[in-house]
Chains A and B, each alone.
Chain A
């Protein structure tokens, strides 16, 4: 049997733009709607004196049917000839944003639905922004209800332009923008004659073009310890390989403790000959020597440990009823680690539907807002930036019993004690050679922060330049920020001898910027 990976799709958008109807229609058009369910819906509709409602398939709860809205996420399954799909319906109403996030957090790709007659609305934008924060980069926009505007091309293109513009501003590019009518079935499974001017795929065709979720096996090993089972004289460390590959015999290191160990065996019930566990697998691990390590520690291969974070800067969305407050204490949960943290800065507060920065250096974040924040942790935990490792770069914030917010890690700042970010002082590393000043960072593979002295900047002002040989793209970014902060000029060159930037100064000295003044993505 050709097992093609199941793709999990979430459908988001403003309330009443037709999500539930679209899902019912997708089922019907792929032959996945059981006859009995069809008849059940038909009977209920007849009782209520209405025309057949595809939306009833997902809106099973009584309140939902009575009020014609979706309250919570539900999941249902259908297949095209290519592969199986799990469709997660997510509610559109503002109040149900937390349910939408729960649904979307589990998805591999998204359909952003927009009512073609009404156009892009508040929730359309808010959901799109949330998708971007949740790391969901694959998506298709479906412009719906075109039957209400006679399938006019100009109206479709108007809406298309507006939504593409917004998506771009949050860093998203949709794979396709498809004109549809969920109620009437146009361009869902079969191309519609009424949109002869459209040459792209049908909605199902667009779904089939999505590729499965990001390949995480190429990333470094991250095995967070979930629990420890003691028995038969062994200590078995249970957990899930979040990324990379775990091998028996490998030399490993834990973060944040830095403890080292050699993996003796990979254990699975009734599978005694396992030597490797890959990403996504839940296994038990034993070590060659006795070791005491707690839940929350993350195992990696020697030399590739997760940074030990003392401070985390993140973009987060807040779902709690009470506002998130500066200087208050919260509990963060990242992988299997749990740590108390103080919210030490709210750098920007952002309205999630307009993306406007409503306040800098704020003292609170309200329900449904997004913010760039910094947490100072009570003790270090292993964490990666979301960009480097999505599984170890995201966390939730709990208040009392429940999850009240979620965040993705933008930066990690470490303890000197742990294996973490090194501070590189460019002025100390600078070498002066006949053909100019030079800093060689080509051996600095780990995470770094840069510092420069006043004298360094002053020398550049006197017409000198410095060439810096880079090791990673992360360094390029950090140097660019530094240059921006000090008003320095920067050029870069990629070449066979390595990648370099050259820093120089053209104008007068600029006051060091304490924040980078860019719109936030």
Chain B
């Protein structure tokens, strides 16, 4: 079987399994290429009618181009979109100057927690991949989070033969990761094959483009002339720089992503 088809089928299987086993699911849509691919896969899995809402955690620092693209696609694809902002923190002046760890934790992690509580979501789909960074590489496809939102990475239950742990206690919520086995290159090749419309910030303008999309103050573009998906793929095949090189929170302190993730970050 073609490798992209194999990945696609595995992701569809995971979506259908999760939908069967859990109520009150939602999908996190960060507007980036991975979660948009995830949304595309959800549409395939459910024959065009995604049976759960899409949640965008808007930190308030997102690029306007992203917001415009989000609203346009949500309408075109008839998506049930829930936008959530941690208004309390923003009103108190939360911003990256207060320390990236503190800011990510407040605007993203707590933003996520708030929307889960408010809507009673018991599980969320996320588009993280193993090859993105070290602690994500250790994830399971169905991964529980306890009532304190914490990730017990030291004692994960075994996941075997596509039999996922799908019965959890009442206070846990589950994170579901259908894209874990996909690489950055797989995502782009799939986007090309399926002609998935992506956020224009990925494409080069004035010699720069974003390889990874985050918040404006903490996300740095790369020098690149790639202005089409084909060109991005060619560029990816020769690059030696990792994908998240332009994401400041990854580099701020040793093991910062691991610490953030153990507290419930994506």
Which A residues have a C-beta under 8 Å from some C-beta of B? 3, 5-6, 34-37, 44, 58, 60-63, 71-77, 84, 86, 98-99, 101-102, 105, 226-227, 229, 231, 236, 238, 240, 267-270, 278-282, 284, 295, 319, 333, 394-396, 398, 400-403, 406
Contact B158 A77 (CB under 8 A): no
Interchain nearest-CB distance for A401 vs B (Å)? 5
Known: A74-B138, A76-B137, A295-B20. A406 touches B160 (CB 8 A): yes
Give the contacting residue for A406; candidates B19, B137, B161; CB below 8 A: B161
Apart from A280-B9, A284-B47: 18 A-B pairs, beta carbons within 8 A: A34-B240, A34-B241, A36-B242, A61-B153, A61-B255, A71-B153, A72-B156, A75-B131, A227-B19, A231-B49, A269-B43, A270-B44, A270-B48, A281-B5, A396-B160, A401-B168, A403-B158, A403-B159
CA distance A226 to B20 in the complex (A): 8
Interface residues in B250-266 by Cβ distance below 8 A to A read 254-255, 258
Q: Are B160 and A36 in contact (CB under 8 A)?
A: no
B47 adjacent to A280 (CB under 8 Å): no
Q: Is the CB of B154 within 8 A of A71?
A: yes
Given A35-B240, A75-B181, residue A267 in contact with residue B47 (CB < 8 A): yes
In the complex, chain B residues 28-64 whose Cβ is within 8 Å of any chain A Cβ = 43-49
Residues on B with C-beta less than 8 A from A77 are 131, 183
Chain B, residue nearest A332 (CB):
B163
**8 smallest A-B Cβ distances: which pairs?**
A60-B134, A74-B137, A402-B157, A282-B12, A98-B158, A396-B163, A62-B255, A35-B240
Report Cα–Cα, A37/B134, bound state, in Å.
Answer: 11
Q: Does B1 contact A (CB under 8 A)?
A: yes
Q: How far is the CB of A288 from chain B (nearest CB, A)?
A: 20
B13 within 8 A of A: yes
Asked if B3 lies at the interface with its beta carbon under 8 angstroms from chain A, I say: yes
Q: Is the CB of A282 within 8 A of B47?
A: no
What is the CB-to-nearest-CB distance from A59 to chain B, in angstroms, rounded to a whole number? Answer: 8
**Interface hits, B129-166 → A, CB 8 Å:** 130-131, 133-135, 137-138, 140, 153-154, 156-161, 163, 165
In the complex the two chains form, what is the Cα distance from A98 to B43 in whole Å? 34
Question: Which of B46, B137, B154, B241 has a CB less than 8 Å from the CB of A60?
Answer: B137
B9 touches A240 (CB 8 A): yes
Q: Which residues of B contact A278 (CB under 8 A)?
A: 1
A236 proximity list for chain B (CB < 8 A):
47
Interface centre among B12, B133, B140 (most CB of A within 10 A): B12
Check: B65 CB closer than 8 A to any chain A CB. no
**How far apart sit A75 and B20, CA to CA, in the bound complex (Å)?**
27
Determine if B245 is an interface residue (Cβ-Cβ < 8 Å).
yes
Select B158's contact among A58, A76, A229, A319, beta carbons within 8 Å: A319
Knowing A61-B138, A71-B154, A401-B168 are in contact, say whether A105-B131 is a contact too (CB < 8 A).
Answer: no
Given A72-B138, A74-B137, A6:B3 Cβ within 8 A: yes
> How far apart are the CA atoms of A398 and B157 in the complex, in Å?
11
Query: Which residue of B19, B44, B153, B159 has the most chain A CB atoms within 10 A of its CB atom?
Result: B159
A35-B240, A74-B138 in contact; A105/B161 too (CB < 8 A)?
yes
Q: Which residue of B lies closest to A4 (CB)?
A: B3
Q: Which residues of B have CB within 8 Å of A3?
A: 2-3
| Chain A residue at smallest Cβ distance from B165 | A402
Return chain A residues, CB-CB under 8 Å to B2: 3
B119 near A: Cβ within 8 Å? no
Kindly provide the distance from the CB of B162 to the nearest chain A CB, expressed in whole angstroms.
9
The listed residue (A37, A73, A98) touching B242 by CB distance below 8 A is A37
B158-A102 in contact (CB<8A): yes
Interface residue? B17 (CB, 8 A): yes
Name the residue on A nearest B245 (C-beta). Answer: A36
Name the residue on B nearest A268 (C-beta): B44
Pairwise interchain contact A280-B158, C-beta atoms closer than 8 A: no
With A61-B134, A75-B181 as contacts: A281 and B258 at CB distance below 8 Å: no
Q: Which residues of B contact A99 (CB under 8 A)?
A: 156, 158
Neighbouring A residues of B44 by C-beta, 8 Å: 268-270
| Residue of B137, B161, B258 most packed against chain A (CB within 10 A) | B161
| Contact call B17/A226, Cβ cutoff below 8 A | yes
Residues A60 and B258 in contact in the complex (CB < 8 Å), given A76-B131, A403-B159: yes
- Taking the closest CB of chain A, its distance from the CB of B72, in whole angstroms, is 20
B9 A401 Cβ-Cβ under 8 A: no
Interface presence of B205 (CB below 8 A): no
A227 cross-chain contacts in B, Cβ below 8 A: 16, 19-20
Query: Could you tell me if B49 and A226 are in contact, using CB atoms closer than 8 angstroms?
Result: no
Q: How many angstroms between the C-alpha atoms of A400 and B46 in the bound complex?
A: 30
When distances are taken between beta carbons in the complex, the residues of chain B under 8 Å from A395 are: 163
Shortest Cβ gap from A39 to chain B (Å): 11
B6 within 8 A of A: yes
Smallest CB gap from A267: residue in B: B47
A75 touches B137 (CB 8 A): yes
Decide: A226 near B16, CB < 8 A? Known: A73-B138, A267-B47.
Answer: yes
Contacts known (A269-B48, A396-B161); A60 close to B245, Cβ less than 8 A: no
Residues of B close to A58: CB separation below 8 A: 137
Task: Indicate whether A333 sits within 8 Å of B158 (C-beta atoms), given known contacts A36-B242, A62-B255.
Answer: no
Return the chain B residue nearest A228 by Cβ: B20
- For the complex, give the distance between the alpha carbons of A84 and B13 in Å: 23
Specify which chain A residues have a CB less than 8 angstroms from the CB of B131 in the assembled complex. Answer: 75-77
Residues of B within 8 Å of A280, CB to CB, are 1, 5-6, 9
Q: Cβ of B92 < 8 Å from any Cβ of A?
A: no
- Which of A60, A295, A403 contacts B138, CB < 8 Å? A60
B184's nearest neighbour on chain A, judged by CB, is A77
> With A3-B3, A6-B3, A73-B138 in contact, is A35–B258 under 8 Å at CB?
no
CA–CA, A267 to B44, complex, Å?
Answer: 11
Contacts of B47 in A (CB 8 A): 229, 231, 236, 267, 269, 284
| Complex Cα gap A319–B13 (Å) | 26
Would you call B97 an interface residue if the criterion is a C-beta within 8 Å of the partner chain's C-beta atoms? no
Structural contact, A102 and B159, CB atoms closer than 8 A: yes
**From B130, B157, B163, residue with most partner A Cβ within 10 Å:** B163
Beta-carbon nearest neighbor of B43 in chain A: A269
Q: Could you list 22 A-B pairs, sorted by A, with CB under 8 Å?
A: A34-B240, A35-B240, A60-B133, A61-B134, A61-B153, A62-B254, A62-B258, A74-B130, A76-B130, A98-B157, A98-B158, A99-B158, A227-B20, A269-B47, A270-B48, A278-B1, A280-B5, A281-B5, A282-B45, A402-B165, A406-B160, A406-B161
- Cα–Cα, bound, A333→B161 (Å): 10
- CB neighbours of B20 from chain A (8 A): 226-227, 295
Chain B, residue nearest A65 (CB): B255
Query: B1 to chain A: which residues have CB within 8 Å?
Result: 5, 278-281
B11 nearest CB neighbor, chain A only: A282
Contact residues in B for A61 (Cβ distance below 8 Å) = 134-135, 138, 153, 255, 258
Least CB distance from B241 to A in Å reads 6
Is B93 in the interface zone, CB < 8 Å from A? no
Q: What chain B residues lie within 8 Å of A402 (beta carbons)?
A: 157-158, 165
- Residues of chain A contacted by B19 (CB below 8 angstroms): 227
Are A75's CB and B13's CB within 8 A?
no
What is the minimal beta-carbon distance from B174 to any residue of chain A, in angstroms?
11
Q: Contact flags (1/0) for B229-258 with A, using CB distance below 8 Å?
A: 000000000001110010000000011001
